[in-house]
Structures are given as structure tokens and as C-alpha cells.
Amino acid sequence: MLNVIAFRKSGSRGPGQQQSPANVEAGIAELASCVTGLQSKARGDIGNAILMLDLAAQHAREIAMRVPDPAAKKDFDEHVSIIERLIELAREMAVKL
């Protein structure tokens, strides 16, 4: 699993011992950095997925032009239109991430 974060062991502290504030702050900063990196990667992956879906919808439009049966073509066009609206919605939502 690529999205598993490996936490380092905090040493041999007993149950009554605490980390120094500097170590706690460093750990928090490291964790925040990991989270920020993962968020950035997720945004990029979502953007790439939307681009791939958009490309697939464009290909579907090209295929629709070749459908000889008018009823089937109309049905196919309606499905592609719905898909394109959903892709646009996904694009709008991705901007808000």
C-alpha cells in the first residue's frame, strides 16, 4: 500500500516520561508536511483523472458522429452529455480542494 505513512518509534520512554516540546513540535511539523504533500499529490491525481475522463468524452463524441441509426445516436448523445456535465461538476469541485 503506497499511501501508508511509516511513523518512527519514539524511543524507549516509559509510560510516565514525556517528549520534550521541541521534539513534539518537530513531529507535528513533519506530520503536517506529510499531509500537505499527500494533499498536493491527491489534487494532481484528481486533475489527471478529470483530464482522462474529458479525453474519453471527446472520443465518445467522435464515435457518436459515426452512429448511423438516428435513435441510437440520439440516445448515445444524451449519455455523453450527462457524462460531460458530470465531468464539469468534477472539475468545479476539484478547484475547491
User: Residue 84: which residues within 8 A CB-CB, separation 6 or more?
Assistant: 57
**Structural domain includes residue 76:** yes
d(CA 2, CA 51): 23
**Structural domain includes residue 88:** yes
Q: Under a CB-based contact definition with an 8 Å cutoff, are residues 42 and 90 in contact?
A: no
**Structural domain includes residue 94:** yes
Tell me what pLDDT residue 50 has: 96
**Structural domain includes residue 70:** yes
**Structural domain includes residue 26:** no
**Structural domain includes residue 56:** yes
Tell me what pLDDT residue 23 has: 86
H-helix or E-strand spanning residue 80: helix 70-95
**Structural domain includes residue 32:** no
Tell me what pLDDT residue 45 has: 95
> What residue ranges of the chain have pLDDT lower than 50?
none
Tell me what pLDDT residue 27 has: 87
d(CA 64, CA 55): 14
**Structural domain includes residue 77:** yes
User: Based on the structure, what is the number of domains in the chain?
Assistant: 1
Tell me what pLDDT residue 15 has: 57
d(CA 19, CA 72): 68
Tell me what pLDDT residue 17 has: 65
The pTM of the full predicted model, rounded to 2 decimals, is 0.67
Tell me what pLDDT residue 57 has: 96
Range of the domain at 53: 48-97
Per-residue model confidence as pLDDT tens digits over 66-83: 999 999 999 999 999 999
